[in-house]
Amino acid sequence: MPGMDEDVPSGAPPHQQGILSSDAASSSSSLSTLARNATAKPSLLLTGLSKALANPYHHTTSPLGIINLGTAENHLCFPELLEKFNSPEIRITTPDMLTYGNTYGSAPLLASIADLFNEFLRPCQAVVPADLTVHAGCGATISNVAQALTDPGDGILIPCPFYGGFDFDLTLYAQAKLVHVETSSHDNFLITPKACETAYANAVAAGTRVRVLLLTNPSNPTGLAMGPSEILSLLEWAKGRNLHVVSDEIYALSTWSNKNPFVSVLALPTLPDPQRTHVVWSFSKDFGSNGIRVGVFFSRDRQLLKAMHMFSILTNTSSLADRACANLLSDRKWVAWYVEENKKRMRESFEKTATALKRMRVPYIEPDSGFFVFVNLSRWIAPVGDASTTSHGPPSESAGWRGLWNRLIDAGIYILPGEAFSCRQPGFFRIVHTLNWDVVRLGLERLERVLDEVEVETASSHLKDMSVELFDMQKFHS
């Protein structure tokens, strides 16, 4: 979702960087409530990214710039993707592409996506083009779904931690209320019906009508795919509460570990409530194409699809992007090669990253999917101060992680804190590793240097405290 997720493009306008000029501030009273809400929404994703964009790393022109390991992008197959997208068979413009056409995806694109889903998601019931709508990216798709399924003030259950852009996608236009389902790192943030029921009951008791359960599988930020029994238990619970379930499967083709293969909700032998089970997907992640902005919605609820057709009038994708993606998917031999090669490179990239983290003694959640690893830096955050702390006591846990985060950015490495994903346990950070390895390696070296400095400072502080304590004891006994 441009403007609020971690994938804000370079040169983001001032309001996306949390900057409001005096002229803009003085005229803000003339804006609508919607506009004021949009510009006032705080975002850790944008706060750090604005600093990274102000001084980006480049190996020759800006070697001391900030290395961005915070934005969820996969560059590992860029050479092959660029060659493919620039090939004559992809870059075809026909007269119909210069006309309006329908707004929810061309017939070639819908057919090619249906083929892709049938081949790789392995649905028990074949997906047909009439089950699909296309929108300008996954953010627009999720926003449209929220508008179609909720009224202002209605609740959407969302397990934590979750992709931070949902805070914007689900609330700006739909004005839905996010109801957090709390999980714990002790069991790798496992989502249970019990946790969903607790969140649901608390929301209802507070007067919120809950309409939707939103799942992300595989997870962002943990990089874990859900097992079929876990998914089924949640679907059965949701049916008991008459909830729609939206499964965000944007990383569906990015599960690179054979230990825990990805299973789509569409592949379950029996869906508890097929009419209320929906899927969201996009080219952004699985095809390394964040900027192309082609998001997909699947449902077998014809009334809901009709609503999504109407919403797509304002969120339709460009005919150039539409046809390029359709042409790419039509080369099924190339797609099959790409999917496997991409998984291989992601696995190799993670293994090198894991080796570095183990050497640094940094614990992490073992992922099986995605572009990132969720690390636990809590042992390094307690001693780190923050500009907002005072001399009246130790910094809070919040100040600690923020202090470490700012220190990392100052040292030239941008990663995202767990708080950007509504993770209640301070100290978690998400590191993206699917970039050029020389860049990732340098970023990890900068991380290690900061952590080493913190450990030295902590040891020195402990020695100082012991000296003071010993002096006080000697003074007392004298």
Q: What is the pTM of this model?
A: 0.88
Mean pLDDT of 223-249: 98
Q: What is the mean pLDDT of residues 411-434?
A: 96
pLDDT at residue 393 is higher than 70: no
Q: Which fold has domain 92-336?
A: Aspartate Aminotransferase; domain 2 (3.40.640)
Beta-bridge mates of residue 157: 179, 213
> Which three-class secondary structure state does DSSP give residue 245?
strand
**What pLDDT, on the 0 to 100 scale, is given for residue 15?**
37
Helical (H) or strand (E) element with 80: helix 78-85
CATH fold, domain 14-71+377-467, is Aspartate Aminotransferase, domain 1 (3.90.1150)
Strands 428-432 and 210-216: unpaired
User: With left for phi above 0 and alpha for psi between -120 and 50, is residue 175 left, alpha or beta?
Assistant: left
Give the distance, in angstroms, between the CA of residue 193 and the centroid of all CA atoms in the same chain.
23
Q: Which residue has the tokens 């992300």?
A: 216
Tell me how far the alpha carbon of residue 333 is from its chain's centroid: 29
Residue 41 is predicted with a pLDDT of 75
pLDDT in tens, 19-74: 344 454 455 678 999 998 888 877 777 778 888 999 999 999 999 999 999 999 99
Question: Mean of the per-residue pLDDT values for the chain?
Answer: 89
pLDDT, residue 205, reads 98
Q: How many helices (H) and strands (E) does the chain have?
A: 16, 13
Q: What angle do CA 392, 396, 399 make, to 5 degrees?
A: 105
**For residue range 306-345, what is the model confidence (pLDDT) as tens digits?**
999 999 999 999 999 999 999 999 999 999 999 999 999 9
User: Mean pLDDT across the stretch 179-193?
Assistant: 97
Give the tokens for residue 404: 């470490």
Share of the chain above pLDDT 90, in %: 79
Q: In the prediction, which pLDDT does 289 show? A: 96
Question: Can you give the pLDDT at residue 469?
Answer: 54
Lowest-pLDDT range, 113-127, 212-226, 456-470?
456-470
Per-residue pLDDT tens digits for 269-298: 999 999 999 999 999 999 999 999 999 999
- pLDDT for the residue 477: 54
The span from the CA of 469 to the CA of 9, in Å, is: 53
Are the C-beta atoms of residues 138 and 193 closer than 8 Å to each other? no
Q: Provide the pLDDT for residue 391.
A: 33
Q: Does 394 score more than 60 pLDDT?
A: no
449 pLDDT higher than 60: yes
For residue range 252-268, list pLDDT tens digits in order. 999 999 888 999 999 99
154 falls in which pLDDT band (50, 70, 90)?
A: very high
**Extents of the domains making up the chain:** 14-71+377-467, 92-336
- Residue type at 196? C
In this model, does residue 467 exceed pLDDT 90? no
| Greater pLDDT, 178 or 476 | 178
